[in-house]
Amino acid sequence: MRLPIVGRRSPNTLVVVCHPKPTSLTRAAAARVLAGLDRAGRPVRILDLDELGFDPVLRLAEVRGHLGSPDDRPDLAQHFEALRWAEHLVLIYPTWFSGQPARLKGWFDRVWMHEVAFALPEGANRITGRLRNIRHIHIVTSHGSTRRVNWVQGNSGRIRVRRTLRVLCHRLCRTSWIAIYDVDNTPSSEIGEWLDSLERRFAGRR
């Protein structure tokens, strides 16, 4: 007697979008990523930082209470809950000045906080990651400069995700870098092909 094949559950996917311009390439990329996830039947939540008017400024009170409890910050509760729910995290943003836009960087600063993304046990001098639920981080980004220029600049945006965010997640967490370079000089047909490839990729049909 053959046992039935049980399909693997689709991972919870949190999509974080950051760009103030509705007609931007970032917004087009986000639409195609979401279309692919919908085709794949993934459970999805979206945090659109600009639509939400997310305040990126880490103010003095938060700095002083950086080892406090997330319960003290009810204004960020939906962000904390979304991070704890996610198994895959998709960050969609433009690369500006070799890194993430200020609003997204502020999201890291304010939301990836004590008792959410990390813990510092009493007497310890090294943090431990708490987002063990996240097993894959996808970065979807555009660059005005070429791949070579980004390499010379040190790929700081990529390194921030791979060497800082990832280590707070599951110990086997993977990162996928999905970028388009030199967009100001790239023909619209190639940009269209890149957008098509995004939808296929997130639909699971590369």
- Considering the domain boundaries, does residue 4 fall inside one? no
- Considering the domain boundaries, does residue 152 fall inside one? yes
CB-CB contact of 84 with 138 (8 Å)? no
Domain containing residue 110: 13-203
- Considering the domain boundaries, does residue 52 fall inside one? yes
- Considering the domain boundaries, does residue 40 fall inside one? yes
- Considering the domain boundaries, does residue 23 fall inside one? yes
Query: What pLDDT is recorded for position 146?
Result: 86
Closest CA to 133 of 67, 85, 182: 85
- Considering the domain boundaries, does residue 6 fall inside one? no
1 pLDDT above the threshold of 50: no
Number of domains making up the chain: 1
3 pLDDT above the threshold of 80: no
- Considering the domain boundaries, does residue 79 fall inside one? yes
206 pLDDT above the threshold of 70: no
Give 151-200 pLDDT, tens digit per residue.
Answer: 887 788 889 999 999 999 999 999 999 999 999 999 999 999 999 999 99
Helices of type H across the chain: 25-40, 60-64, 77-85, 102-111, 147-153, 156-160, 188-203
Give 35-55 pLDDT, tens digit per residue.
Answer: 999 999 999 999 999 999 999
Other Cβ atoms less than 10 A from the Cβ of 7: the count is 6
Q: Which residue has the tokens 């009810």?
A: 74
Closest CA to 56 of 24, 79, 39: 79
Give 108-162 pLDDT, tens digit per residue.
Answer: 999 999 999 999 888 788 899 999 999 999 999 999 888 888 888 778 888 999 9
- Considering the domain boundaries, does residue 123 fall inside one? yes
Query: What pLDDT is recorded for position 33?
Result: 98
CB-CB contact of 199 with 35 (8 Å)? yes
Query: What pLDDT is recorded for position 16?
Result: 98
Q: What is the CATH number of the domain that holds 32?
A: 3.40.50.360
Q: b/e per residue, 23-39, with b = 16+ CB within 10 A? A: eebbbbbbebbbebbee
Residue 107 binned pLDDT confidence (cut-offs 50, 70, 90)? very high
